[in-house]
Structure 1
Amino acid sequence: MESAALALMRRDGYENVTVASIVSAAGISRTTFFRYFGSKPGVIWYAFDTTIERLAAAIAGAAADADALDTVRAAVVESTRAAVRDSPVWLERFQLLDTVAELQAESHRHWERWKRVIAEHIAGHMGCAPDAVIPLAVAGAFHGGFVAQLRAWRDDRHRDAFIAHLDQDMGRVAALLRPLPSADPD
């Protein structure tokens, strides 16, 4: 269903694809479609939401004494590796998210959830609120590095190389942010 929907959206343009055309191409009923996705944008966003859950689980599963920034780097890379591995159309999905105005309008809410997972982890490490300046700045820096790598990746055939570059870039972000203070003065 995901592959059929994304193929239509890339061929015909996101705006020109309807739920009816997706269910026809996928050979499913509208009921089945709406059981999995609440809307046409849901076809695109559902995998991103799963990646956020994986990011949170990877951070939660890290050793309590692990370096906070290394934990974030590893969690971003591993949650992305799982998402890339699980979807034959992962890059195509991101390209739509990054270029279609209707999807961009929703992107803030999803990216804020992604960044919130990181900010909460950093805040817990520092002993401050997730909305304090340093946790939010750290989350924003990782987000910027992640999006930059996604925008640079143009060939879906080289997924392992993408993950290697992502790991390298997330390591650069972590190095840039070191050392984290022990507490936010606010």
Structure 2
Amino acid sequence: MTDVETGPGPGRPDGARRVGRQPASSRIEIEHAAFRLFAEQGFEQTTVDDIAAAVGIARRTFFSYFPSKNDVPWGSFDQELVRFRAVLDATPPDLPVLEAVRRAVMEFNTVPPAEQPWHRRRLALILGTPALQAHSTLRYAEWRQVIVDFAAPRLGVPESSIDVQSIAYTALAVAIAAYDVWLRDDRGDLLDLLDRAFRVVAPRPTGAAGPES
């Protein structure tokens, strides 16, 4: 999610593919081309062939980056989950669990300024495309599991306990609420909204640092 596209984009006049591109750049180029097509044609009306043609790649090359069209809006989600897990695991052991989750969710949603418009498109697609909802349910479960894997040993309870499951589901609900408000008002700041939403369900411990922590 945090990679930045470099060099000429899919709209190059000659339509030629860049030689020797780095995989991350290619993935971002495909994503951006797909987002444009989704906006112009609609998600369901856009095919994998349409996306491949827009970038100037073969259909099989598309599938080397994304298992399906439904995975495009999620970008490099698997790699981001690895980073999400690493941030949680690096938190001090004496930090309250929900505060640790707040910080990790903030980090998970930190993107370079140039990528923020694309992040907005990504979230609008994920939250507003009915055809993606079943796929999104699977992705949400993977996201929650990262929190469960972190919270259960910290609290000394089974992963199936109501304590752990409530934290995971609450964190997801908080994130989705912040996304929804952000998508309705492009003047808002996503990280500020996430921070405020977490404060509603768990006021920050006395003396804790602000959103940048």
TM-score, normalised via structure 2 length: 0.74
The one-letter code matched in structure 2 to 1:3 is H
Task: Give the gaps of 5 or more residues in structure 2.
Answer: 1-29, 205-213
Q: Deviations over 1:107-156 (max 9, x none)?
A: 11110111111122221111011111110011111111110110111278
CA distance in 2, matches of 1:30, 1:141: 39
Conserved 8 A contact 2:182-2:193: no
Deviation at 1:86, TM superposition (A): 4.9
Structure 2 contact 91–100 (Cα < 8 Å) conserved: yes
Match of 1:163 in 2: 191
Query: What is the match of residue 98 of structure 2?
Result: 69
> Percent same amino acid among aligned pairs?
30
For the 8 Å contact 1:51–1:80, the answer to whether it is kept is no
- Say which of 134, 137, 146 aligns to 2:166: 137
Give 1:83 deviation, angstroms. 7.8
The alignment yields a C-alpha RMSD, in angstroms, of 2.2
Q: Which moved more, 1:145-154 or 1:86-95?
A: 86-95
> Post-superposition, which runs of at least 4 consecutive aligned residues in structure 1 deviate over 4 A?
83-88, 155-159
1:73–1:170 Cα contact (<8 Å) kept: yes
**Structure-1 separation of matches of 2:102 and 2:55:** 37
CA distance in 1, matches of 2:187, 2:57: 31
Structure-2 change in CA distance of 1:11 and 1:20 (3 Å): same
Residues 145 and 169 in structure 1, CA contact (< 8 A), matched pair in contact too: yes
Query: What residue in structure 1 maps to residue 17 of structure 2?
Result: none
Give the stretch that moved more between structures: 80-89 or 146-155. Answer: 80-89
Moved more, 94-103 or 44-53: 44-53
Change (3 A) 1:65 1:84: farther
With over 3 angstroms needed to count, the CA separation of the structure-2 counterparts of 1:147 and 1:76, relative to structure 1, is same
In 1, the alpha carbon distance for the partners of 2:113 and 2:46 equals 24
Tell me, in whole angstroms, the C-alpha distance in 1 between the residues paired with 2:56 and 2:161.
Answer: 49
SS at match of 2:202: helix
1:52-131 correspondence runs (5 A): 52-82=81-111, 86=115, 88-131=117-160
Structure having the higher helix fraction is 1
Asked whether 1:175 is paired with 2:203, we answer yes
Q: What CA deviation, in whole Å up to 9, does each residue of 1:16-48 have, x standing for no partner?
A: 001110011112222321111111112122333
Number of residue-to-residue matches in the alignment: 175
